[in-house]
Structure 1
């Protein structure tokens, strides 16, 4: 007798004025062959056509909240509070599941009769027309632990599914890298981390402004120092600079 559990996924999309990309994200969710999911959309009171597009799929959206928020991570916290599934999956507006049966593949990859605390996989980078550009630069480790992120955010947040019961709110003191801190905190509490060995997400390559990118890197440095210690973090960054000088990345 097969006692393998069928996990329920809480897919959370945070959006604001995303009329150009929100529909393909919604279609990616509602078109999944695996149906054990709930869909939650947190909208920051969009002023464009976003809500009208969402309304077309309202029968497939379990929860919709549209109101002003304090930014991306505040909206994500609202999504966590609204979720009721086994796992949290943050699928931002513009991002899509890699295939229509991605959630089925994820469920099938779980062996035994106990759900792992964290599920993770690979991320493909795509352009605005969903053309494949390349796989994510940071390589997903075969075995993931909370210490793995000493090397950076090796798993894209969208391809990192955490058990809802382990999740804590995002730290709103971080404006750009709260997801990095959140993943580390969740992994510290996790006992089992499961590598699906599949590409989970097609991530829209929109690019960051130089200013935001620098601010994000600064935040990540402080997050790493908080979790791994100042000495380890400084030493790692020195080694990273040396490695770039000796063997520049292409």
Structure 2
């Protein structure tokens, strides 16, 4: 990777004083030096602004003003991002180890040389006690099949590095979506095919459970709206199962606890989408 290549880290935050410092530290402590941090705050009132001021030397750009949700904040941040690679991190999430960017360097070089616009690793979902509930992230064939065919979110943006050309080619986030704007962007970018580079075995970030995407019913409904918008089949067996899980999630969480519920949900999603992936691969080979 040349010295001119830069990783832009974008964080959207609103009243995130409890976890924001950990998030900022995980970026500033990276051994990889060619990075910049951009933070967009939605007008916090809980002490977040004090944290931003105290870390001013670690932040390339930050602003605090009312916004229209996470994708509005991300779009505002993109206007200030100078990096060839752009990475979005939640304010209650954190980079897993100090060498994450350094370990990704080789893969980003490879991707750029082959005009690949998305590189991703794995994400550890953790509870408030930092216990790992499960690990997200699988091969691109499996991920693409889940997104385009099954209609479920088989990815987590905390593991993904977007080349700036992706936004130049397919546009910024659709702000009409409040939870699945990243999913809708991937449909736009990869609906007709294309390839993303998966770094198997590399945990990029820890994602704390209990964020906005834990509103499961809204998540599933927005996923359906994104698919309908792009004229993809909405009612699939995996999507119906996801809807059933969304309805039962609060009860499961109460009975089993957040760690066991998240593990069960992810196991079920991987199982169902895995069967679908094998079926579609078989049909594709048969047609050839």
TM-score (norm 2): 0.73
- Farther off after superposition, 143-152 or 58-67: 143-152
**Counterpart check, 1:109 vs 2:107:** yes
Report how far residue 237 of structure 1 moved: 4.5
Aligned to 1:226: 229
**Counterpart check, 1:13 vs 2:2:** no
Aligned to 2:248: none
Cα distance in 2 for partners of 1:96, 1:238 equals: 29
Count of matched residue positions in the alignment of Structure 1 and Structure 2: 238
CA contact (8 A) 1:124 1:132 kept: yes
Aligned to 1:50: 48
Cα distance in 2 for partners of 1:19, 1:238 equals: 35
Secondary structure of the corresponding residue to residue 11 of structure 2: strand
User: Which of 201, 207, 223 is equivalent to 1:203?
Assistant: 207
Cα distance in 2 for partners of 1:16, 1:172 equals: 17
RMSD over aligned Cα atoms: 2.8
- The gaps in structure 1 that reach 5 residues or longer are none
Cα distance in 2 for partners of 1:127, 1:238 equals: 25
Report how far residue 13 of structure 1 moved: 0.4
Q: Within 5 Å, which residues of 2 pair with 1:5-154?
A: 5=2, 7-110=5-108, 112=110, 114=113, 116-136=116-136, 139-143=137-141, 146-149=144-147, 150-151=149-150, 152-154=152-154
CA contact (8 A) 2:143 2:155 kept: no
Cα distance in 2 for partners of 1:155, 1:124 equals: 12
Change (3 A) 1:110 1:176: closer
By percentage of residues, which structure has more helix? 2
Q: Deviations over 1:52-78 (max 9, x none)?
A: 112222111001111111111111111
- Farther off after superposition, 83-92 or 162-171: 162-171
CA contact (8 A) 2:143 2:154 kept: no
Cα distance in 1 for partners of 2:192, 2:165 equals: 10
Change (3 A) 1:228 1:195: farther
Cα distance in 1 for partners of 2:213, 2:118 equals: 31
Aligned to 2:282: none
Cα distance in 2 for partners of 1:199, 1:209 equals: 20
